[in-house]
Structure 1
């Protein structure tokens, strides 16, 4: 019983971490945006009292294809990826955030604006640059 509880806790933690990655956030935003576009496109069509042009139909199909692709990507992340792939995705996200933090530090003009990294983080980043 305790082992099942521990496994569920770890899986829940991993799922929450995956939901916070840039890739999943981007996919979720894509799904929301495309659904909103399809919804607005569908409500605008009857108001025009005209049949949809070939370009409109093509656009609608491309947007639907984009929505399906994003949903499949989300499904793949949570249901078909292995544990190693999940951990790799989390590692890539950590590296992306670290690089972004470095760029922000370099862009900072005054010493007050600079973000301070620990010595261990700076050494790790120096090793990666080499």
Structure 2
């Protein structure tokens, strides 16, 4: 090893340690994004149901109640929920690709270290 802080094997060990450190965080973030997406879908379904029910109530009322502004607000909220869900879906896909890249890089680095004899195999 060089006196200046380590050679290639030390850098490889550090890189692998960093990848091992990141992997659980990426997986946890992916799980959290998945849970938020599921709740967004549930919220969208509830908004749809409520909007439908408000329209039905409005039609059934003998007294003229103007529920249209509320229905429009619900539909606007639904649109925003769908937009957020699309953003989350894109983020989750990027996380999936990152997780795949981390796993692939970990395997590659471990193989390099094992080939160099600097990493004890499991």
- Which structure's CA Rg is the greater one? 2
Say which structure, 1 or 2, has more relative contact order (CA 8 Å, 6+ apart): 2
TM-score interval (norm. to shorter): 0.3 to 0.5
**What TM-score comes out, normalization by structure 1 length?**
0.44
**What TM-score comes out, normalization by structure 2 length?**
0.46
